[in-house]
Amino acid sequence: MTALNRRTMFLAGLGSAVAVSLGADPAAAEHYPADVGEPVPEATGNVRRVNLSERPSTIPAYTKVRMLDIVFPPGSSEPVEEMMADMVCHCTEGELTVTNDGKEFVAKAGDVWTCRKGGTEGLVNNGSSQAVMRVAVLSA
């Protein structure tokens, strides 16, 4: 293990300061206008899906991975439904009340969680600002 000295700590701090000053936040979603993306038919309150990217997967259990943002205006929701694929979810903006396999929690900006194929999930934006959930969908 490398010993930490003042020089190492200084360089680590300097790198962090530069990243912050440049506004580096690669996981941050942009604030979406109300008409961007496709409506999510089963949701209420103008929830929209913004498709970002899709590629073949190198993980043997999956054939492709798809990245998308789901935009929740204040007061909007998606009902509890069965998940059709394994997913990794990340709240990039706002807060969402998540019901995942019967357990409820509040996901705040920066929180990550998973959904399994055959499991259930529902989402509600109880806040006063837009919430965005970034999803990596792993398809078999």
pLDDT tens digits, 68-93:
999 999 999 999 999 999 999 999 99
Residue that is written with structure tokens 């399994």 in the block: 116
**DSSP assignment letter at 44:** B
What is the Cα–Cα distance from 21 to 19, expressed in whole angstroms? 6
Using DSSP's 3-state secondary structure scheme, residue 52 falls into: strand
Whole-angstrom CA distances from 19 to 11, 13, 22, 92 are 12, 10, 5, 18
pTM: 0.77
Q: Name the β-bridge partners of 10.
A: none
How far is 57 from 132, CA to CA, in rounded Å? 24
What pLDDT score was predicted for residue 82?
97
Report all structural domains of the chain as residue ranges with CATH numbers, in order of start: 27-139 (2.60.120.10)
User: Looking at residue 3, what is its pLDDT?
Assistant: 52
